[in-house]
Amino acid sequence: TRRSSVLRREAVVAAIPAAVAALLVAAGPAAAGPVGTSGAGDPYFPLAGNGGYDVGHYGLTLGYDPRSGHLDGTAVVTARATERLTRFDLDLSGLKVTGVTVDHVKASYRRAGQELVITPRHSLRRKQEFRVAVTYSGTPKPVTDPDGSPDGWIPTDDGAFVAGEPQGAMTWFPADNHPKDKASYDFTITVPDGTTAVANGVLRGRTTSHGRTTFRWRQSEPMASYLATATVGKFKVEQYTTADGLKVYNAVDPREASAAAPVLKKLPSVLAWESGVFGPYPFRAAGAIVDRAPQVGYALETQTRPLYDSAPDLSTLVHESAHQWFGDSVALTTWKDIWLNEGFATYAEWLYTEQHGGRSAQQAFDALYAKPAGNDLWAFAPADPGSGAHIFETPVYSRGAMALQKLRTAVGDRTFLRILRTWATEHRAGHGTTAEFVRLSERLSGKDLHPLFHTWIGTAGKPSSP
C-alpha cells in the first residue's frame, strides 16, 4: 500500500539528496492535477517504486533471443489508484517503449532516467482499478548496484541469469519496483527450442511451434518485484511433487549438474525441517535454478525458486530456503530493515547446523563475538546500514543473526521459536518492520527487550559484553 500526493511529494523531495531531488524536478513540469510520486519514499533507493497506486497483478509476455540478446515484452499491469491521479510512473531502465495504453486507451508517456512517466487520457479516480499495457523491446542490461554488483537481466552464453535484488526488476519489465508493493504474476516466455525459461511459481504449460517454445508460469501468492525471475538457458530439468504436495521444479546448468545433485536432493527435507520450525511453507511451488554462466558471486531467494550461480552448498540452500519465509512471504517495507531478511536467513543456517549435529548457534555467536572491535562485523548497526551500498554486508547477516541469538537466550528456546513462527504466520504474504518484530518479541515474552535490540541491532561498534 502506498500513499502520495503533491504535498507528500514535497516531503519526499526534502528528504532525499539534492542530486536526486534535481532529477525528480527534472521529471517534468507540474501536471494539471495530482501526480504519483517517482519514488516509494525509500531513503536508500529514492526512485525505487512509485506513489499513487498499488499493483495487484503483472502479466508479462516476453520473447527472448539468446543469440542476439534481444527481448520483446508486453507488460499488463493491473493496479488500483490510491489517490486521484492525472499522471503516474512505472520504473523501467533501458529498453525502448513502443506503446502504452491505460484501460485500452492510448496514453502519452515519456522517459526520465528510470521513470516511465505515463499520462492517461482520462485522470484516474481514487480507488479506481486500472490496467496499463506497456509494449517494449531492446537489449536488456543489468544495473550496477551501489555495492558494485550487477543486478537485473544478465545475459549469458545461452540465455540470461535474471536476479533483481534490490533494483534489477526494472531492467526487464516496467514495475512498481519496491518490495512495499507486492503482486501476483503471470509469465509467458518464448525462447528458441531446446532452451528453457524458468520463472516463479507453478509451470502451467509449455508449447512448441516453429522452433520456439513458450513457457507459462504463474506466481499466485504476492511477490516483491526483486524476487521475480525469468532465467533462460540450456538446463537439465527435474520435476516432482513432494509428499506434502509441493510442486518442485529444478533447472540446472549441465556443467553444474553432478555437483548440484546431492544438495538439491535435500531440498524437500530442508523445506520440511524449516516448515517444522517456522510454520507451513508459504508457497505451493518450490525448486532451484543453478546457472553457472555469469558468476555474479551471490545467490538470490527468487520466490519459490532460488537462483544460484553455481552448485550451492547445503548452508546456502538452507539460507535461500529460509528466505521464502523471511523476505519473500514476510517482505520489507524499507531496505533499511534488510536484517529482517539476511539476519534471519543466516540464523536459519545456524539453527539447521545445530539441529543436524554441527556446532550450536551459541558457538557460532561466540566465534563471531571473538572478533576484535576493529573488524568489519562491528562497522555499523544491523538495523541501520546507512545506505544502499551496505545492505549486503556482514553486520546485516552475521550481527543480525547474533541479535537473534541474544533474543533466544533472553526469552528461552520455546518463546524464541514461538516468536519466529508467529512472525512468519502473522505477516504471511505481507510485510513486517523492525519495530513490529521488537513489539512481537516483547508481547510474546512479556519482557522489555528495547535495551537488547538497541545494543544488538541499533548500535554500531562491538557491544561491551557478549
User: What does the binding site for Zn ion look like in residue numbers (CB under 5 A)?
Assistant: 342, 345
165 is an interface residue for ligand ARG by CB under 6 A = yes
Three-state DSSP state, 283: coil
> What minimum distance in Å lies between the beta carbon of 305 and ligand ARG?
13
Distances (CA, A) of 308 to 236, 242, 252, 301, 313: 14, 21, 9, 9, 10
396 is an interface residue for ligand ARG by CB under 6 A = no
Q: Are 122 and 55 in contact (CB under 8 A)?
A: no
> What minimum distance in Å lies between the beta carbon of 286 and ligand ARG?
16
300 is an interface residue for ligand ARG by CB under 6 A = yes
Among the residue ranges 6-14, 87-95, 208-216, 315-323, the one whose residues contact ligand ARG (CB under 6 A): 315-323
CA distance 441 to 457: 14
Given the complex with Zn ion, which of 12 and 345 has the nearer CB atom? 345
Question: How would you write 106-133 as a 3-class SS string?
Answer: ECEEEEECCEEEEECCCCECCCCEEEEE
Q: In the stretch 329-358, what mask flags binding to ligand ARG with x, by CB under 6 A? A: -------------x----------------
> What minimum distance in Å lies between the beta carbon of 346 and Zn ion?
7
> What minimum distance in Å lies between the beta carbon of 156 and Zn ion?
22
CA distance 308 to 45: 25
Given the complex with Zn ion, which of 334 and 398 has the nearer CB atom? 398
Contacts of 368 (CB under 8 A, 6+ apart): 377, 398, 399, 402
Site for ligand ARG in 139-158 (CB under 6 A): 145, 147, 149, 151
> What minimum distance in Å lies between the beta carbon of 296 and ligand ARG?
8
- Residue 95 partner contact from ligand ARG, Zn ion, none using kind-dependent CB cut-offs of 5 to 8 Å: none
Q: Are 251 and 198 in contact (CB under 8 A)?
A: yes
Given the complex with ligand ARG, which of 88 and 344 has the nearer CB atom? 344
Given the complex with Zn ion, which of 309 and 342 has the nearer CB atom? 342
Q: Which residues pair with 203 in a beta bridge?
A: 217
Given the complex with ligand ARG, which of 221 and 349 has the nearer CB atom? 349
C-alpha count within 13 angstroms, C-beta hemisphere, residue 215: 23
Distances (CA, A) of 205 to 187, 188, 189, 384: 11, 9, 11, 44
CA distance 282 to 335: 22
CA distance 466 to 11: 41
369 is an interface residue for ligand ARG by CB under 6 A = no
Query: What does DSSP assign to residue 399?
Result: I
**Which amino acid does the sequence have at 10?**
E
- Residue 399 partner contact from Zn ion, ligand ARG, none using kind-dependent CB cut-offs of 5 to 8 Å: none
Q: Which residue has the cell 516463479?
A: 200
> What minimum distance in Å lies between the beta carbon of 309 and ligand ARG?
11
Contacts of 367 (CB under 8 A, 6+ apart): none
Question: Total binding residues for ligand ARG by CB under 6 A?
Answer: 14
> What minimum distance in Å lies between the beta carbon of 319 and ligand ARG?
6
299 is an interface residue for ligand ARG by CB under 6 A = yes
> What minimum distance in Å lies between the beta carbon of 444 and ligand ARG?
27
392 is an interface residue for ligand ARG by CB under 6 A = yes
Which of 20, 139, 298, 379 is in the footprint of ligand ARG by CB under 6 A?
298
Residues contributing to the site for ligand ARG (CB under 6 A) = 145, 147, 149, 151, 165, 298-301, 319-320, 323, 342, 392
